[in-house]
Amino acid sequence: MSGNIQLLSDTLERAKTENRAALIAYLPAGFPTVDGGIEAVKAVFEGGADIVEVGLPHSDPVLDGPVIQTADDIALRGGVKIADVMRTVREAHEATGKPVLVMTYWNPIDRYGVERFTAELADAGGAGCILPDLPVQESAVWREHAEKHGLATVFVVAPSSKDERLATITAAGSGFVYAASLMGVTGTRESVGEQAADLVRRTRATSGLPVCVGLGVSNAVQAAEVATFADGVIVGSAFVKRMLDAADQAAGIAAVRELAGELARGVRRVS
């Protein structure tokens, strides 16, 4: 492995040696502003996140619920561009030395150019990409360029994925596997449910890649629950909601730092 995919793998491995799950946070670039978004990413790292996914705001975010859609809309109305996403990755990584991925739908990359996108992401110090809507069977060009630039390709699996399909997806992916804990869109929920544990078990049967669970985790109790069976706990909407609910940008940044601390303690809780 080369580039920051190694940093990503080392980070997940270190959490494993500490007998805990990694905490992975999600925040969209450009929200509430480009500078504010960068400070928010730094804050969640300071609070205890191991890895951050920077969202590339999209006008039709099919996997995202109303909270992230609202943040994406704010970022897009603010004029966020792919260059701002790259700047967010660069500044957050350089300030912390920690792995930063981009989570994006395929259309913006396709329009921007795969080679250009992967080269710029690698140059910014990015660890890779999570691509929730790119079918594995159509991913060869992306994977070729990602591999050339030392970037991880993280695919999403769902409870509906059959075992044969899981094997195909995990064979093509790298870095880790993103296990969606339930069918539906992102958002905070009362319970993460047994489906997630079953999906992690089935996914691990097909691959040695770490399996990280997202969709629905919003507090330390849920993080602790998921940490008992997953290699990583992914939290997005809860961070975004803290920013949306804050009185101003500074309060929002303080709030996401605090939430990261709570969740970091959650993933370290011995069950």
At 211, the amino acid letter reads V
Token pair 């996403």: residue: 85
Catalytic residue among 53, 72, 84, 231: 53
Q: In 17-39, which positions are buried (b, 16+ CB within 10 angstroms) versus exposed (e)?
A: eeebbbbbbbbbbbbbbbebbbb
Contact 263, 223 (CB under 8 A): yes
d(CA 67, CA 65): 6
Token pair of 59, please?
């006008």
The strand ranges marked E within the chain are: 22-28, 51-55, 100-103, 128-130, 152-154, 156-157, 177-180, 211-214, 232-235
CA 199 from centroid of its chain's CA atoms: 18
Query: Does 84 participate in catalysis according to the annotation?
Result: no
Query: Does 64 participate in catalysis according to the annotation?
Result: yes
List Cβ neighbours of 168 (8 Å cut-off, separation of 6 or more). Answer: 136, 137
Catalytic residue among 64, 72, 84, 120: 64
Which residues does residue 26 pair with via DSSP β-bridges, in sequence order?
53
Reading across the β-sheet that carries 100-103, which strands appear in turn? Answer: 152-154, 128-130, 100-103, 51-55, 22-28, 232-235, 211-214, 177-180, 156-157
List Cβ neighbours of 140 (8 Å cut-off, separation of 6 or more). Answer: none
Pairing mode, if any, of strands 152-154 and 22-28? unpaired
Catalytic residues: 53, 64
